[in-house]
Chains A and B, each alone.
Chain A
Amino acid sequence: MILAAISAPAAAGTVRLTQADATSAHAPRGPLNTLDDIRIAIAGCWQWPPVDLVVDGIELSLRISFKRNGEILSARITYESQLISASERVLYHRSLINALTLCSPLPITDALGNAIAGRPFLFHFQDTRRQRKA
């Protein structure tokens, strides 16, 4: 199971990524004109490490902002689980770098670029694939 959320507190509240959104990695296809388009694009860029290589899922928050042209202006991990191994952390960080590389620049419209430029987005990723549930 995968749960990931993205919020844009300075821009437009909170939107959520679904599990179906985040199953395979591919470059975003534009033009993106809404926050929901960004949500889908970001989800599409993300690929979790193989489940067999991780024992405990990570919980990770990323603060990120974009330029008007969709390039990443800044990105910073603001929180991540402590109870994972160093090797697992490397795998998740590699996934993160791959996703950010794949996503930049976001193919956004000029209007959306003007709306989001410089504003912080908070992405929250939680890998729950190993959780056992009813």
Chain B
Amino acid sequence: MTMADDENTLILETSKGDVTIAMRPDLAPNHVARIKELVREGFYDGIVFHRVIEDFMAQTGCPQGTGTGGSGQKLKAEFSKEKHVRGTVSMARAASPDSGDSQFFICFTEAPWLNGQYTVWGQVTEGMENVDQIKRGEPVQDPDKIIKARLAA
């Protein structure tokens, strides 16, 4: 792995194992920059996967574990033509396109109805088998969590 790759590599140490995400500043530079800030602050450490739907996605990043929380800094949408496929990491949002904050989701499978509607900012490159093991539910009872999020560089 090169130094340049390491700068945009996010590792989630989850209760089901490590998940490596290649972040895509080429698609969503502001989202990637903000995610890095939050990771360095330790914001994601201990946060649960609160909404996990079979054959769809696993959502996390809410400090309250309810889906209503965030860091308090909304992000302007950075929609692209990048498709939502298995392993895509994209930003959750409310009705407003510019309401992304800290919550994101990882797709279990392709989800074409999300294309162009949600900001894609990464792709799982390793550990997708661990994502598959994340406990399902909406809300999830006794959910899995991010033990620690860290940047490779």
Q: List the interface of chain A (C-beta within 8 A of B).
A: 1, 56-57, 128-134
Residues of B within 8 A of A129 (CB): 94-95
- Out of B57, B103, B111, B114, name the residue touching A132 (CB < 8 Å): B103
User: In the complex, what distance in Å separates the CA atom of A110 from the CA atom of B133?
Assistant: 55
* B94 engages A134 (CB within 8 Å): no
Q: Is the CB of B59 within 8 A of A134?
A: yes
Counting contact residues on chain B (CB < 8 A from A), the size range is: 20 to 34
Separation in Å of the A103 CB from the closest CB of chain B?
Answer: 26
Rounded to whole angstroms, the CA-CA distance of A1 and B94 in the bound complex is: 8
User: Contact flags (1/0) for B70-81 with A, using CB distance below 8 Å?
Assistant: 100000000000
**Interface of chain A: mostly helix, strand, loop or mixed:** loop
Q: Does any Cβ of A come within 8 Å of B92's Cβ?
A: yes
CB of B100 closer than 8 Å to a CB of A: yes
* Distance, CA A130 to CA B105, complexed state (A): 17
Q: Is B51 within 8 A of A133, CB to CB?
A: yes
Q: Which of B66, B68, B118 contacts A134 (CB 8 A)?
A: B118
Q: Which residues of A contact B95 (CB under 8 A)?
A: 1, 129
- 6 CB-based A-B contacts, threshold 8 Å: A132-B68, A132-B92, A132-B94, A133-B94, A134-B59, A134-B90
Per-residue interface assignment for chain B, residues 104 to 122, with 1 indicating a CB less than 8 Å from any chain A CB and 0 otherwise: 0101000100100010000
Please give, as numbers and ranges, the residues of chain B lying within 8 Å of A1 by CB-CB distance.
Answer: 94-95
Majority-rule SS of B interface residues: loop
Asked if A131 and B57 make an inter-chain contact with CB atoms under 8 angstroms apart, the answer reads no
Q: With both chains docked as a complex, state the minimum distance between the C-beta of A89 and any C-beta of chain B, in angstroms.
A: 16
Q: Is B35 an interface residue (CB 8 A)?
A: no
B62: CB under 8 A from chain A?
yes
A131 to B99 CA separation, bound complex (whole angstroms):
10
CB pair A134–B67 under 8 Å, yes or no, is no
Report the bound CA distance from A128 to B92 in whole Å.
14
Measured between beta carbons, the chain A residues less than 8 angstroms from B103 are: 132
Which residues in B have their C-beta under 8 angstroms from that of A131?
66-68, 94
Q: Told that A57-B68, A132-B94, A132-B103 touch, could you supply 14 new A-B pairs with CB distance under 8 A?
A: A129-B94, A131-B67, A131-B68, A131-B94, A132-B68, A132-B93, A132-B101, A133-B51, A133-B67, A134-B57, A134-B90, A134-B92, A134-B105, A134-B111
What CA separation (Å) do A40 and B92 show in the bound complex? 31
> Is the pair B94, A130 in contact by a Cβ cutoff of 8 Å?
yes
